[in-house]
A = this chain, B = another copy of it.
Amino acid sequence: MIEIVAGIDIGGTNSVIGLVTRSGDCIAETTMPTRNNGNFENFIESISHKIKSLYNQVDPSKYKLCGVGVGAPNGSFGIGAIVNAPNLEWKGVLPICKELTKQTNLPAVVTNDANAAALGEMLFGGAKGMKDFIVVTLGTGLGSGIVSNGKLVIGHDGFAGELGHTITEINGRMCGCGNRGCLETYVSATGIKRTVFMLLAQSNKPSKLREISFENLTSKHVTEAANNGDSIALDAFEYTGRLLGIKLAEVITLFSPEAIFLFGGVAKAGNFLFDPAKKYMEEYMFPVFRDKVKLLPSGLEGKNAAVLGAAALIWEEINK
């Protein structure tokens, strides 16, 4: 019998469920809407049903299903629950692990999406063999998963590693968390969009980006414009990369990682983002660390990293 686990990535719109081997092969996968599933119990029933039918699709005489790992916004490993996730319709403390175990008779663990991405990177991606590294996920917001001494830094209440909500500018941009100036208001798909609009206001340089509304602008537009030499787009990446680099310098001074991985849509801008980030990271870090810390794209890009990360989480638990 080959052992497999279910990895579940719960997103605001859709959830993805995959069956994953110990070596990180996803042998079956399905998607279901996260919204419009009724109350939370109904949603868990639907997910459990999906896990069972996926398992029946593969050869159950050949595979043994050993556990369920979940990556979710505001997922807390410590209490096995999703807590007040801003993008989910169910509020309060959702005891997802207990409910999944009740439905499936399998051990279940949860963590937030960025922590899951870090575990995926460690087990199946570019961080194989590393004990100290950081994954920064650059999507609508900015998440981070920090591994120190080979373990996820989850902290006393299970919510550590909120790099996106460390402050970059006192009294800066308004953030969804209630504070101002959080890193993710500058460094994320939304952040770069805000920066483009700031630059369009401040400068009178011509730019293709002047034709796109705030609602319609995506980080992909900005990357395309930068590829065409649009100077607003290039300035936006320089501005974003500088703030990311300064923050990474700080994080390196605290954690001394072997590498930092950038993951997600914005990271696909490649050198437009990596070059200024690397430059300012080296400039502002504690000199003893200079030229030692790698800044890399995720080794899981292109794969379903969130599902692999959720699967890595439960493999870690089973291996304990």
Contacts and interface: CB of A to CB of B under 8 A. Distances in A.
A162 B253 contact: yes
Copies in the complex: 2
Contacts of A254: 146, 153, 160-163, 166, 251, 254
Contacts of A288: 157, 159, 162, 177
Contact of A156 (B178, B251, B257): B257
Contact of A256 (B130, B160, B178, B293): B160
Contact of A170 (B153, B178, B246, B257): B246
B287 A177 contact: yes
Interface of A: 130-132, 146, 148-149, 151, 153-163, 165-167, 170, 177-179, 246, 249-251, 253-258, 284, 286-289, 292-293
Contacts of A257: 155-156
Given A151-B149, A153-B148, A246-B170, A159 B256 contact: yes
A179 B132 contact: no
A159 B289 contact: yes
B250 A156 contact: no
Contacts of A165: 253, 286
Given A156-B256, A257-B156, A149 B146 contact: no
26 contacts: A130-B156, A131-B156, A148-B153, A148-B155, A148-B160, A149-B149, A151-B151, A153-B153, A155-B256, A155-B257, A156-B292, A156-B293, A157-B256, A158-B256, A163-B254, A165-B253, A165-B286, A166-B249, A166-B253, A167-B246, A170-B284, A178-B287, A179-B284, A179-B286, A251-B254, A254-B254
